[in-house]
Amino acid sequence: MKTLYWIFPCYNEEECLPSSFEKIMETFRGFLSSKLIDESSRLIFVDDGSKDKTWEMIEKLSKEHKEAIGIRLSRNKGHQYAVEAGLRYADEKNADFTITMDVDLQDDISVVKEMIEKHYEGYDVVYGVRNDRATDTFFKRFTANSYYKLMLHYGVELVENAADFRLISNRALKALLEYQEANLFLRGLVPQVGYPSTKVEYKRLEREHGKTHYPLTKMFSLATDGITAFSTKPLGIVGKLGVCLIGLSVIAMIIFAILNGASVLAFSIYYYLFPFISIMTGLLMICLYIIGLYIGKINIETKKRPHYFIQEIAGE
């Protein structure tokens, strides 16, 4: 038997935490009784600076159940850092393997047993992969598919339709934690580790309580973080676009010079001059934005600031 540290990042989850905890404990005790994991295994709830009663609930659960441990970050740092905090804690405790999943249990908890069995077959990383997006809206399906295609196009190695629901062995975790970048994008980092991996398919469930913490703006931010953290291709596009703009400008000047003598044609062409300049200016601003993203991330990386601070730990 091996030690499992099952990690749940939490942010403002007071509505779903009670019912989720019941299901988690029932599943966890099933693993214990079937000898899939040993008695030193633990449930880790990482509170990412919640503004509701999430931490108070985690504290209460950790007092009532020896298997539950709460980690409270000093402020909200984001989902990826909350996951990292749980992983580093598990590494410090020498867990044999870890599983990370969201506490809302939209990721199907019933496939966790299969993930553990895959690990015992010799796999260091087991990805939970969605096999059905029927419950998503058309817009959600379109943006999700576009996201993965875009990431793969720009050379970011991702497991398609896999988020942060995964199992990681002890040696794979130690390798993962060697990465020190501040711009944390675990979906891209885990495949870089390179140890034997496999997939477990599941159908994502509807959220029973509360609301999603990943609206479109956060999804867009996550996508840009992934691309800029693992690929410099957008900078190449900026260079190619610059060459195209120069070429278009030269062509425009030649056309204006030819038509200069024909007053009617010259007059009419100026109707297109302002939109042309506006489009060129817009393209230049997009280029500056892309370059600015990379410069900003370089600035953050060079500061070497701590990723997070742990305010307190409950249940140790």
Q: Tell me: do 183 and 39 sit in the same domain.
A: yes
Q: Residue 258: its pLDDT value, please?
A: 66
Angle separating helix axes 216-230 and 138-153, nearest 10 degrees: 10
Alpha helices by DSSP H, listed for 72-212, are: 79-92, 112-120, 138-153, 170-176, 186-193
Q: Tell me: do 283 and 200 sit in the same domain.
A: no
Q: Find the domain containing 170 and state its range.
A: 4-231+306-314
Angle separating helix axes 17-33 and 54-64, nearest 10 degrees: 30
| 17 close to 54: Cβ distance less than 8 angstroms | yes
Q: Tell me: do 267 and 178 sit in the same domain.
A: no
Give me the torsion for CA of 221, 226, 227, 232, rounded to 10°. Answer: 130
Q: What is the number of structural domains in the chain?
A: 2
Q: Tell me: do 288 and 176 sit in the same domain.
A: no
In whole angstroms, give the CA distance from residue 189 to residue 194. 10
Regions of the chain where pLDDT drops below 50: none
Residue type, 92: E
Q: Tell me: do 195 and 71 sit in the same domain.
A: yes
Give the CATH number, domain containing residue 169: 3.90.550.10
Q: Is the dihedral of CA 212, 218, 220, 226 positive or negative?
A: negative
Nearest Cα neighbor of 211 from 112, 102, 108 is 102
| End-to-end Cα, the chain, rounded Å | 22
Q: What angle do CA 196, 200, 204 make, to 5 degrees?
A: 140
Neighbours of 18 (CB within 10 A): 12
Q: What angle do CA 279, 249, 267 make, to 5 degrees?
A: 80
Q: Tell me: do 223 and 239 sit in the same domain.
A: no
Q: Tell me: do 220 and 299 sit in the same domain.
A: no
Q: Tell me: do 108 and 256 sit in the same domain.
A: no
pTM, full prediction:
0.74
Q: Tell me: do 225 and 237 sit in the same domain.
A: no
Q: Tell me: do 185 and 58 sit in the same domain.
A: yes
Residue 178 C-alpha from the chain's centroid: 18
* Sheet with 42-47, side-by-side order of all strands: 197-202, 125-130, 162-169, 97-100, 4-10, 42-47, 68-73, 310-314
| 9 close to 99: Cβ distance less than 8 angstroms | no
In eight-state DSSP terms, residue 109 is: G
Q: Residue 255: its pLDDT value, please?
A: 67
Q: Tell me: do 160 and 118 sit in the same domain.
A: yes
Q: Tell me: do 159 and 47 sit in the same domain.
A: yes
User: Which long-range CB contacts under 8 A does 217-223 form with residues at least 24 apart?
Assistant: 219/143, 219/147, 222/185, 223/147, 223/150, 223/151
- Across the strands, what pairs with 72? 47, 312
Q: Residue 166: its pLDDT value, please?
A: 93
